[in-house]
């Protein structure tokens, strides 16, 4: 069975500050890992994904995430927050041979001026 | 451009009524999924399909059904709507690989009175 834990249902940062959203996963086999973003009243949009190539993955809008097997983590970062980054972020896990995703409960990112 | 659409975008119904939510994708993906999103729960998988005539139960399938008669469509039916089924419903589709991206529709907000 797979599971995802996102630490912190809400994270607040100031504009220009570092963004760090935490994701830990549980998987009995090597995972595929995804970060999605959801803006208000919209569907989910892929930010980036880890598919067992490079452990540091770069995504859209300046976000990146690093796969750390020893820590079973896939934290999302952005060096400098923008007001437009305010949204809900979801981490998800899948694995070879399966097409279903297991999602974390989401982290709402709040950006203040 | 390929896309995934859902209709209606908003629906209000009464307890006990049958409701069908439509999902249509032009990606030509075999894999399609239905999720519900509720505060504090993230996205939970209701049903999924790996191809025509294939359907599978997800984590929260009770009270819901799907059918797949063609590649493009996966309608979700609530046989007898309950207030606990008030939620936002998302449809998604993806290609065959486990690491392929899931693409999401814009969602349907369903209220059961």
Position A13 scores a pLDDT of 97
Residue B11 — very low, low, confident or very high, per pLDDT cuts 50/70/90?
Answer: very high
Interface touch A100/B45, C-beta < 8 Å: yes
The number of beta carbons lying within 10 Å of the beta carbon of residue B105 is 25
Residue A20 — very low, low, confident or very high, per pLDDT cuts 50/70/90?
Answer: very high
Exposed / middle / buried, residue B110 (Cβ in 10 Å: 0-12, 13-18, 19+): buried
Strand segments, DSSP code E, in B52-105 are: 54-57, 64-66, 76-78, 87-94, 103-104
Structure token digits, residue B100? 């392929």
Interface touch B98/A103, C-beta < 8 Å: no
Q: What's the average model confidence in pLDDT over A19-44?
A: 91
Beta carbons of A34 and A94 less than 8 angstroms apart: yes
- Give the Å distances, CA to CA, from A4 to A101, B42, B66: 10, 11, 27
Beta carbons of B15 and B97 less than 8 angstroms apart: no
Position B49 scores a pLDDT of 96
- Among the partner-chain residues B41, B48, B104, the one whose CB lies closest to the CB of A43 is B104
DSSP B73: B
Pairing of β B4-7 and β B103-104: unpaired
B96 CB within 8 Å of a chain A CB: yes
Pairing of β B19-25 and β B31-38: unpaired
Residue B75 — very low, low, confident or very high, per pLDDT cuts 50/70/90?
Answer: very high
Q: What's the average model confidence in pLDDT over A2-20?
A: 95
Position A1 scores a pLDDT of 75
Per the model's pLDDT, the better-predicted residue between B50 and A52 turns out to be B50
Q: What's the average model confidence in pLDDT over A87-113?
A: 91
Position A54 scores a pLDDT of 86
The nearest CA of chain A is from the CA of B32 a distance in Å of 9
Q: Which residues of A touch B (CB under 8 A)?
A: 9, 32, 34, 36, 41-46, 49, 51-52, 90, 94-101, 103-106
Residue B97 — very low, low, confident or very high, per pLDDT cuts 50/70/90?
Answer: confident
B29 CB within 8 Å of a chain A CB: no
pLDDT in tens, A49-81: 998 878 999 999 999 999 999 999 999 999 999
Q: In sequence order, what are the beta bridge partners of B28?
A: none
Interface touch B94/A42, C-beta < 8 Å: no
Contacting residues for A84 by C-beta, under 8 A, at least 6 apart? none
Position B40 scores a pLDDT of 82
Local structure of B14: helix, strand or coil = coil
With beta carbons under 8 A apart, name residues in chain A contacting B98. 32, 94-99
B28 CB within 8 Å of a chain A CB: no
Among A11, A16, A30, A27, smallest CA distance to A62 is for: A16
Residue A97 — very low, low, confident or very high, per pLDDT cuts 50/70/90?
Answer: confident
- Among the partner-chain residues B33, B98, B106, the one whose CB lies closest to the CB of A97 is B98
Position A99 scores a pLDDT of 80
Position A25 scores a pLDDT of 94
Interface touch A100/B48, C-beta < 8 Å: yes
Q: What integer best gives the mean pLDDT of chain B?
A: 95
Among A3, A7, A9, A1, smallest CA distance to A93 is for: A3
Residue of A nearest to B96 (CA): A99
């Amino acid at each position: 069975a797979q599971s995802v834990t996102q630490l912190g249902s809400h994270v607040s940062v100031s504009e220009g500050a570092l963004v760090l959203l935490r994701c830990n996963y549980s998987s009995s086999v090597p995972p595929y890992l995804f970060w999605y973003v959801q803006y208000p009243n919209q569907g989910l949009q892929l930010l980036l994904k880890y598919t067992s190539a490079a452990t540091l993955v770069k995504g859209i809008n300046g976000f990146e995430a690093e796969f750390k097997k020893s820590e079973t983590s896939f934290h999302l970062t952005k060096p400098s927050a923008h007001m437009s980054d305010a949204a809900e972020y979801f981490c998800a896990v899948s694995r070879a041979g399966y097409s279903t995703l297991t999602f974390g409960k989401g982290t709402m990112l709040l950006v203040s001026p | 451009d390929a896309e995934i659409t859902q209709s209606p975008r908003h629906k209000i119904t009464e307890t006990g009524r049958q409701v069908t939510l439509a999902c249509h994708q032009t990606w030509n993906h075999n894999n399609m999924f239905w999720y519900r999103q509720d505060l504090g729960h993230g996205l939970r998988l209701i049903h999924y399909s790996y191809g025509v005539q294939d359907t599978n139960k997800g984590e929260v399938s009770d009270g819901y059904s799907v059918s797949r008669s063609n590649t493009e469509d996966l309608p979700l039916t609530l046989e007898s709507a309950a207030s606990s089924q008030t939620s936002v419903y998302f449809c998604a589709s993806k290609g065959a690989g486990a690491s392929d991206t899931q693409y999401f529709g814009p969602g349907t907000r369903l209220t059961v009175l």
